[in-house]
C-alpha cells in the first residue's frame, strides 16, 4: 500500500496485479472504514463488473491481454475482468456504497486513443502480441512481470502516451475526490501506480 495526503484527505493506493484470482482476497481484506473508494476503471467498466452476473456474453479481451494472461498464469489462476477490481466493487457494494471510477469514460478514452495511437501503432499490435508470446520474460514475481510486460507494450509510442494520459487523468480524479473526503482507498493496476503517484507529487 502507498499512502499520502492531499490537503486534508488521507489517500491509500493499493497496487494490484490484474488477472490473478489471488489478488481478490488481498483487496477484500483492505476494505475498511474509508469515506470513499475508487478504482482505475471508467464508469462503464465499473457498471459492467457490478452487473456481470446478468451478462451472458464473454468479456472482450484483446490479443495483448490474452498473451499477458498466458504469462501471468505461471503465478496462479487467471480470470477476467480483474478479480482485484471485482473484489473491491463487490465489497464496497456490500457496505451500501459505490466505487468511484478514476479512469475516463468510454467516449473520452476512445477520443484520446484515436488522437494518440496512430495507424502504424495499431497495426503493430498483432506483431507485438505474437512476439510477446515467445519473449523470454524474467517471471520473478507477478508484480515485476506486470511492470516488465507494460514496458514491453509501451515500446510502441502511442501505447506509451496512452498510459501517461491515463495516469494524469487518474491523478486529477484523486485530487478532485480529496477535496470532498477525509480519506480514500484507491485500487490501481501496479503498472500505472508509479505514474499516478508521480503526478500526485508524492
- The pLDDT tens digits of the residues spanning 120-129 come to 877 788 899 9
Count other C-beta atoms under 10 Å from residue 133's C-beta: 13
Cα atoms in the Cβ-side hemisphere of radius 13 Å centred on 50: 18
Do 7 and 179 touch, CB atoms closer than 8 A?
yes
DSSP state of 119: H
The CA distance from 93 to 68, in Å, is 29
58 pLDDT above the threshold of 80: no
Among residues 162, 168, 160, the alpha carbon closest in space to that of 196 is found at: 168
Q: Is 187 a residue whose pLDDT tops 80? A: yes
Note the pLDDT of residue 96: 95
Angle at 61 between CA 129 and CA 72, to 5 degrees: 60
Long-range contacts from 56-64, C-beta under 8 angstroms, 24+ separation: 62/125, 63/125, 63/126, 63/129, 64/125, 64/128, 64/129, 64/132, 64/153
Q: Per-residue pLDDT for 53 more than 90?
A: no
Per residue in 84-118, pLDDT (tens digit) is 999 999 999 999 999 999 999 999 999 999 999 98
Q: Mean pLDDT score of the chain, rounded to an integer? A: 94
Q: Which residue has the higher pLDDT, 183 or 119?
A: 183
Q: What pLDDT is recorded for position 120?
A: 81
DSSP label of 60: P
Q: pLDDT band at residue 57, thresholds of 50, 70 and 90?
A: low
Contacts of 163 (CB under 8 A, 6+ apart): 150, 154, 191, 192, 195
User: What pLDDT, on a 0 to 100 scale, did the predictor assign at position 1?
Assistant: 94
Amino acid at each position: 500500500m502507498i499512502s499520502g495526503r492531499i490537503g486534508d484527505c488521507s489517500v491509500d493506493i493499493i497496487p494490484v496485479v490484474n488477472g490473478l484470482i489471488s489478488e481478490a482476497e488481498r483487496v477484500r481484506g483492505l476494505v475498511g472504514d474509508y469515506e470513499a473508494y475508487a478504482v482505475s476503471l471508467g464508469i462503464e467498466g465499473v457498471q459492467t463488473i457490478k452487473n456481470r452476473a446478468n451478462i451472458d456474453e464473454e468479456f472482450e479481451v484483446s490479443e495483448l491481454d490474452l498473451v499477458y494472461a498466458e504469462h501471468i498464469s505461471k503465478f496462479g489462476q487467471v480470470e477476467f475482468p480483474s478479480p482485484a477490481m471485482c473484489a473491491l466493487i463487490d465489497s464496497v457494494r456490500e457496505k451500501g456504497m459505490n466505487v468511484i471510477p478514476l479512469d475516463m469514460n468510454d467516449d473520452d478514452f476512445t477520443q484520446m486513443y484515436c488522437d494518440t495511437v496512430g495507424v502504424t501503432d495499431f497495426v503493430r499490435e498483432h506483431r507485438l502480441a505474437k512476439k510477446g508470446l515467445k519473449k523470454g520474460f524474467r517471471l520473478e514475481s507477478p508484480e515485476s512481470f506486470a511492470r516488465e510486460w507494460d514496458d514491453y507494450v509501451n515500446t510502441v509510442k502511442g501505447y506509451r502516451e496512452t498510459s501517461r494520459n491515463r495516469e494524469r487523468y487518474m491523478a486529477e480524479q484523486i485530487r478532485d475526490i480529496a477535496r470532498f473526503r477525509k480519506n480514500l482507498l484507491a485500487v490501481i493496476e501496479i503498472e500505472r501506480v508509479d505514474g499516478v503517484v508521480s503526478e500526485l507529487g508524492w
